[in-house]
Amino acid sequence: MENHNHEASINQDYLCNGLPQVLVLEPPPVFKFHGEQLSKIFHFLKAWESPLPLHQYLTINSQSVKAVLSAGTTPITPDIIRLIPSLGIIVTTSAGLNHIDLQECRRRQIPIATAGTLYSEDAADLAVGLLIDVFRKISTADRYVRRGLWASQRHYQFPLGSKLGGKQVGIVGLGSIGLNVAKRLEAFGCNILYNSRKKKPSVPYPYYPDVCDLATHCDVLIICCGLTDETHHMINKKVLLELGKEGVIINVGRGAVIDEKEMVECLVHEEIAGAGLDVFESEPNVPKELFSLENVVLSPHRAVHSEETLMALCDLVVGNFEAFFSNKPLLTPLVED
């Protein structure tokens, strides 16, 4: 974490105990590793530590609050926003924005500072890692060796995996994460296709406006898009069946982009070949049917978390808050198209 000097240019109206005041609804990952340093720069109101219900806590404590730090777990609904009458900014450390009522923020003209493209490389790394694991059966082979089965089943032929090169890979959501996935998989010799809200004139990959049509032409679907009303359960039974018995699905986006119940059914009945999943519909609850499937690799929503990125995130959070409190442009403002 960089050594931030708290400038005298901070608006004095924002100070509490000599530090700018920030409301935090739930503990963000940066607190675990950098909480002590951050507490030297900001005065945090930690709502999750109070025994009071959140609405009651906010009614009592948030009348003068102008800044909120969100980790993406607690929904920032219109009701929550109305209980913070002086709210001037939301800084979120989440990769997605589905936890924030963007319409209410627009109405109130409350700016949002995002993580920008900070997470893109980490998420792409894990997406490719999950894909390699599913194809080459790395986790399955690891369990096989650890259980002593390699030595005890000398005449058993461990199942062969599949090569990555030459696969048709469909990326759903060709933003910064999707583009980083594509760049990595091109190096493996994969053919990239994509679905997005609109065609990207600057990329050479074939564009499929219909995700079902994309699935028909792919060996793999990698979900990199955010969760919106339009993308909720976008990957449904029809899409999965079009992906087919040899198809693999990877999700580093949001769990509810996939109809999880239908995906589980397809995996159990071998209507698709496998899955690598970092996100789920009702986290941290994972469908138990997946635990016994050797063709499924599971990860506890860690795609965007690495030591290096959390350190950079800490600096970004500090920079965005200091910009706001000093009436300067945000480093990573949400730009809606």
Which residues are identified as catalytic?
254, 283, 301
For residue 94 the two structure tokens come to 């989440």
Closest by CA to 161, choosing from 138, 194, 130, is 138
- Residue in the block written with tokens 């950098």: 34
For residue 98 the two structure tokens come to 């589905």
d(CA 94, CA 72): 5
The CA-atom distances, in angstroms, between 238 and each of 68, 86, 167, 234, 309 are: 41, 47, 21, 10, 37
Q: Rounded to the nearest 10 degrees, how much is the dihedral formed by the CA atoms of 234, 285, 226, 224?
A: -80
Question: Is residue 56 within 8 Å of residue 102, measured between CB atoms?
Answer: no
Where b means 16+ CB within 10 Å and e means fewer, 104-141 reads bbeeeebebbbbbebbbbbbbbbbbbbbbbbbebebbe
Which residues fall within 8 angstroms of residue 158, CB to CB, at 6 or more apart? 137, 141, 144, 150
d(CA 41, CA 43): 7
For residue 123 the two structure tokens come to 């998420």
Q: Rounded to the nearest 10 degrees, how much is the dihedral formed by the CA atoms of 315, 43, 77, 284?
A: 60
